[in-house]
């Protein structure tokens, strides 16, 4: 029994021209810039079965071979595509309402803003637990301001990533909002968790990030292993910091 294979169509000439012009008729990798040139699909044709501007890039034969061989990973290639856009402030991608590079950028921005908000909540928790000069109003204002920025980053990520990504990003945001509300409301559970309770609480946060990562990768037509969980080198399980008050109240026999 034979399986019918979809014949790969030729790249339309107008699209090829746009790709070559975008790269300045040179290899898109800045440290190369060689010729002659070939057109490559970042996510392979065999997976997407279509020619799209945001998923295609111009490379020299050597860099194209290195990319196919895995010497240059897909995440790096999306970044090279993004650098082409950044190098031209008037650049507009044709027929590209949700470019993959833009989604990755929004995802990293979301992570950065959530992490900043997380740190402010942890600082607020510590200030309340250890403070002796009244309620730390300054910490509350800072936390609220970072929450607003995180909300905007959440909305932008959801806009670019689609329904599944929007729901997963909202879940991450809501987890942090509940934590912040519990701290501001002085709920005992925010300051006095057992070790087992803390580990479960922290695991919930971690798994919310895992679910979001999977949704973002699905929108990008990537396997979750093909996109770094975090952009910078950070520990694999980036869990919320333990406030000093909580740490001191853990039972010694847990």
Residue 169: what are its φ and ψ, rounded to 5°?
-65, -40
Domain that includes residue 22, residue range: 13-86
> What CA–CA distance (Å, rounded) separates 122 from 143?
10
Q: Would you say residue 115 has pLDDT above 90?
A: yes
pLDDT at 231: 66
- 110 with 63, same domain: the answer is no
> What CA–CA distance (Å, rounded) separates 205 from 228?
18
Count of the separate structural domains present in the chain: 2
- 54 with 137, same domain: the answer is no
- 49 with 122, same domain: the answer is no
| Inter-residue contact 104 to 81 (CB < 8 Å) | no
pLDDT at 235: 41
- 170 with 123, same domain: the answer is yes
pLDDT tens-digit series, residues 23-65? 999 999 999 999 999 999 998 888 888 898 888 999 999 999 9
- Mark which of 35, 61, 86 sits at the end of a domain: 86
Residue 153: band (very low, low, confident or very high) from pLDDT cuts 50, 70, 90: very high
Q: Among 132, 250, 112, 120, which Cα is nearest to 179's? A: 120
- 82 with 136, same domain: the answer is no
Q: Would you say residue 226 has pLDDT above 90?
A: no
- 109 with 81, same domain: the answer is no
- 159 with 59, same domain: the answer is no
- 213 with 166, same domain: the answer is yes
In a 10 Å sphere around its CB, with 0-12 CB exposed, 13-18 middle and 19+ buried, how is residue 239 labelled? middle
Residue 19, token pair as written in the block: 């790709």
- 235 with 157, same domain: the answer is yes
> What CA–CA distance (Å, rounded) separates 183 from 190?
6
**Does 195 fall in a domain?**
yes
The stretch 100-125 carries a mean pLDDT of: 90
**Looking at the chain, how many residues does it have?**
254
pLDDT tens-digit series, residues 166-197? 999 999 999 999 999 999 999 988 888 889 99
pLDDT at 250: 27
- E-assigned strands of the chain? 38-41, 56-59
- Mark which of 86, 110, 126 sits at the end of a domain: 86
**Does 253 fall in a domain?**
no
Inter-axis angle of helices 137-161 and 195-219, nearest 10: 30
Three-state SS at 210: helix
The stretch 4-15 carries a mean pLDDT of: 79
- 126 with 210, same domain: the answer is yes
């Amino acid at each position: 029994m034979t399986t019918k294979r979809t014949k790969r169509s030729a790249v339309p000439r107008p699209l090829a021209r746009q790709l070559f012009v975008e790269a300045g008729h040179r290899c898109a990798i800045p440290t190369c810039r060689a010729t002659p040139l070939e057109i490559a699909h970042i996510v392979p044709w065999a997976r997407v079965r279509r020619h799209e501007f945001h998923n295609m890039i111009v490379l020299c034969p050597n860099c194209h071979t290195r990319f196919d061989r895995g010497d240059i990973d897909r995440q790096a290639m999306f970044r090279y595509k993004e650098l082409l856009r950044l190098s031209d402030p008037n650049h507009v991608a044709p027929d590209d309402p949700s470019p993959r590079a833009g989604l990755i950028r929004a995802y990293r921005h979301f992570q950065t803003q959530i992490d900043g908000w997380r740190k402010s909540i942890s600082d607020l928790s510590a200030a309340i637990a250890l403070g002796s000069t009244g309620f730390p109003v300054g910490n509350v204002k800072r936390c609220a301001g970072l929450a607003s920025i995180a909300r905007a980053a959440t909305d932008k990520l959801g806009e670019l990533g689609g329904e599944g990504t929007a729901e997963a990003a909202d879940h991450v945001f809501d987890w942090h909002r509940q934590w912040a509300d519990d701290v501001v409301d002085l709920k005992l559970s925010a300051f006095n968790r057992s070790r087992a309770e803390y580990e479960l609480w922290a695991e919930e946060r971690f798994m919310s990030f895992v679910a979001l990562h999977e949704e973002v990768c699905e929108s990008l037509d990537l396997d979750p292993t093909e996109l770094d969980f975090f952009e910078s080198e950070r520990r694999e399980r980036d869990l919320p910091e333990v406030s000093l008050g909580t740490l001191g109240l853990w039972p010694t026999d847990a």
